[in-house]
């Protein structure tokens, strides 16, 4: 398989004949009608802000169907999808084994608010194959998992303050919906209306990839820090890959200061490998959070830690956390089916090699054309960045004016049947459902679109 992929992507992409003209805009008539109607019901017409397409051209697409690596919108346009519901659909859309398991379980009911054997089955599947957790607690979203992990860290340590990093997103929980103030080490400033200043001031925000900043934070707030939280690999504001040595430094300084290290692996968990970024770096976080990939894309989250730390969660301990739909049987069924597939021998090797060849072939083309573009990638995650920097490791390294080029790229890709997230700060995902045929089609569409983007540079 690997050899065939190498042959497929080999050669000098710079010499490939590609289109130099824009494609006509696809029809969005029905999507536009639905969007106008949606504005009567939802703020901005959407139930999550990025869906409003404010960062790109045109009307939001209303998706009607997904199958394999494809999605179709309300106007019948077909796209090769690299969004994958923002990552969790690692097997692709509507995978038959996931669908069949969900259908089977739904025959017995869809929610009980009581324990089921399915919870045990999925938990055993995770814990037996992930050395970073000994006990877990299911939630209904990644945001809820992170919120609960923060509460657990505070309850376990008896401290209040949390250190987070500028450029890392951890859901919309109040204490983490903050941005950096002025200075190297600052209290967080609210980045959303409705977040009390007192909440934000329990969060210390520092720059990524800066040892002096983390050291200064611990010195300035000595004995007050409950935890440091970082995305496994920051992937909500570009793909900000950190050096292994820096992550290990975080692990060590947390131990020295009796603070917990929390890995938010809502994106990277079970995506880079079954043990996520923790295994990628060879670092043992104290608490790990995961998201919808463990439920095959259904609403679910999870946090886990050692048995000792998790023993502080109610009803065993004094840290209260609950959820009526936690461990929902339908989500558990989808998770069992999906994670069983991920444990198949060679799954990640095949997927990651395929994604790597795809990303590197685009980079070869851009380099041959002298285009100011870098394709950053890790595992099956990639990010198209309009930059000439070889490394982007902090939010400040991203040029906001480069998003104008992304707007053009996004429109050209849609017109060529390629769907990626509607923001230049978002990453893309290759799934097991992307075959070499679809990846070749997608690659050609991207190369054509890049020629359009840079034609009038």
> What is the Cα–Cα distance from 305 to 303, expressed in whole angstroms?
7
In the chain, where the domains are located? 2-81+348-455, 97-342
Contact 294, 122 (CB under 8 A): yes
Architecture of domain 2-81+348-455 in this structure? Alpha-Beta Complex (3.90)
Give the position of tokens 């902090």.
Answer: 394
Could you give the residue ranges of the DSSP H alpha helices within 12-168? 29-38, 96-106, 117-128, 142-157
Length of the chain: 457
**Residue 243 pLDDT level (bands cut at 50, 70, 90):** very high
pLDDT given for residue 20 in this prediction = 55
> What is the Cα–Cα distance from 453 to 457, expressed in whole angstroms?
7
> What is the Cα–Cα distance from 91 to 351, expressed in whole angstroms?
10
Could you give the residue ranges of the DSSP H alpha helices within 39-73? none
Contact 386, 454 (CB under 8 A): no
Give the catalytic positions in this structure. Answer: 169, 264, 292
> What is the Cα–Cα distance from 295 to 105, expressed in whole angstroms?
14
Token couple for 411? 């429109």
pLDDT given for residue 261 in this prediction = 98
- Using a pLDDT cut of 90, give the percent of the chain over it: 84
Tell whether the model's pLDDT for residue 196 goes beyond 90: no
Quick: pLDDT tens for 76-131. 999 999 999 999 999 999 999 999 999 999 999 999 999 999 999 999 999 999 99
Token couple for 10? 């080999």
Tell whether the model's pLDDT for residue 179 goes beyond 80: no
Is pTM, for the whole model, over 0.75? yes
Tell whether the model's pLDDT for residue 74 goes beyond 50: yes
- Using a pLDDT cut of 70, give the percent of the chain over it: 91
Quick: pLDDT tens for 356-409. 999 999 999 999 999 999 999 999 999 999 999 999 999 889 999 999 999 999
Contact 313, 137 (CB under 8 A): yes
pLDDT given for residue 190 in this prediction = 61
> What is the Cα–Cα distance from 430 to 92, expressed in whole angstroms?
9
Token couple for 205? 């925000």
The CATH T-level fold of domain 97-342 is 3.40.640
Quick: pLDDT tens for 264-299. 999 999 999 999 999 999 999 999 999 999 999 999
Report strand pairing: 78-81 vs 418-419. Answer: parallel
Check the CA dihedral 239-244-246-249 and report its sign. positive
Tell whether the model's pLDDT for residue 6 goes beyond 60: no
């Amino acid at each position: 398989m690997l050899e065939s992929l190498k042959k497929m992507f080999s050669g000098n992409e710079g010499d490939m004949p590609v289109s130099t003209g824009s494609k006509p805009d696809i029809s969005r008539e029905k999507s536009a009608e639905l969007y106008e109607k949606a504005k009567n019901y939802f703020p901005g017409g959407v139930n999550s802000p990025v869906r409003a397409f404010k960062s790109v051209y045109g009307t939001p697409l209303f998706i009607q169907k997904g199958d394999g690596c494809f999605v179709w919108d309300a106007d019948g346009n077909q796209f090769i999808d690299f969004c994958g519901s923002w990552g969790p659909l690692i097997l692709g859309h509507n995978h038959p084994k996931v669908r069949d398991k969900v259908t089977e379980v739904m025959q017995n009911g869809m929610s009980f608010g009581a324990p089921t054997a399915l919870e045990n089955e999925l938990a055993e599947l995770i814990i037996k194959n992930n050395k970073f957790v000994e006990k877990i607690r299911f939630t209904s979203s990644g945001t809820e998992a992170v919120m609960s992990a923060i509460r657990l860290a505070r309850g376990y340590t008896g401290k209040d303050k949390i250190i987070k990093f500028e450029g890392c997103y951890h859901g919309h929980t109040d204490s983490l919906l903050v941005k950096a103030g002025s200075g190297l080490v600052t209290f967080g400033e609210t980045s959303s209306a409705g977040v009390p200043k007192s909440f934000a001031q329990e969060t210390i925000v520092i720059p990524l990839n800066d040892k002096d900043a983390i050291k200064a934070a611990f010195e300035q707030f000595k004995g007050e820090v409950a935890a440091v939280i970082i995305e496994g690999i920051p992937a909500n504001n570009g793909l900000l890959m950190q050096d292994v040595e820096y992550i290990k430094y975080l692990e060590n300084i947390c131990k020295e200061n009796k603070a917990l290290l929390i890995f938010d692996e809502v994106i990277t968990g079970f995506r880079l490998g079954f043990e996520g970024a923790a295994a990628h770096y060879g670092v043992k976080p104290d608490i790990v959070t995961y998201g919808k990939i463990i439920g095959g894309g259904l609403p679910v989250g999870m946090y886990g830690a050692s048995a000792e730390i998790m023993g502080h969660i109610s009803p065993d301990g004094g840290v209260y956390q609950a959820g009526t739909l936690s461990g929902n049987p339908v989500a558990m069924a989808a998770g069992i089916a999906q994670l069983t597939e991920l444990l198949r021998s060679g799954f990640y090797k095949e997927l990651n090699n395929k994604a790597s060849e795809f990303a590197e072939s685009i980079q070869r083309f851009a380099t041959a054309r002298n285009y100011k573009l870098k394709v950053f990638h890790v595992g099956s995650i990639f990010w198209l960045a309009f930059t000439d920097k070889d490394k982007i490791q902090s939010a400040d390294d991203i040029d906001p004016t480069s998003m104008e080029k992304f707007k053009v790229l996004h429109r050209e890709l849609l017109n060529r049947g390629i769907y990626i997230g509607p923001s230049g700060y978002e990453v893309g995902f290759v799934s097991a459902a992307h075959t070499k045929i679809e990846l070749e089609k997608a690659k050609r569409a991207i190369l054509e679109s890049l020629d359009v983007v840079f034609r009038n540079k």
